[in-house]
């Protein structure tokens, strides 16, 4: 599955759980390591770095920024192979 299609699937799931989502468009003006998607719900927030597969490489700073988000609320590098696990985690968080 292409990254853009998978990203739409992730955003769709978050919206169904009642989240407000923002898709970050990466371009030359973007800060390095910013996540692809940010989601908010009732004081909770999460950063989602979306990859088309488990073997897709992260850019510099992405793992570090996702780790920071995870320490402060929720952050994850999500790909099709771990999406079911991520959805289960979020089902508990986003009740």
Rounded Cα–Cα distance for residues 13 and 88 (Å):
11
Rounded Cα–Cα distance for residues 42 and 45 (Å):
8
| pTM of the full structure | 0.91
Q: What is residue 51's predicted lDDT score, i.e. its pLDDT?
A: 96
Rounded Cα–Cα distance for residues 27 and 53 (Å):
21
- 70 sits in the region (left: phi over 0; alpha: psi -120 to 50; else beta) called alpha
What pLDDT digit, counting tens, does each position of 74-93 carry?
A: 999 999 999 999 999 999 99
């Amino acid at each position: 599955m292409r990254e853009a299609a998978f990203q739409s699937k992730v955003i769709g799931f978050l919206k169904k759980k009642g989240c407000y989502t923002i898709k970050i468009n990466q371009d030359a003006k973007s800060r390095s390591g910013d996540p692809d998607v940010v989601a908010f719900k009732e004081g909770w927030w999460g950063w989602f770095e979306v990859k088309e597969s488990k073997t897709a490489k992260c850019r510099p700073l992405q793992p570090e920024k996702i780790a920071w988000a995870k320490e402060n609320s929720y952050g994850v590098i999500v790909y099709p192979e771990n999406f079911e696990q991520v959805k289960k985690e979020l089902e508990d968080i986003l009740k």
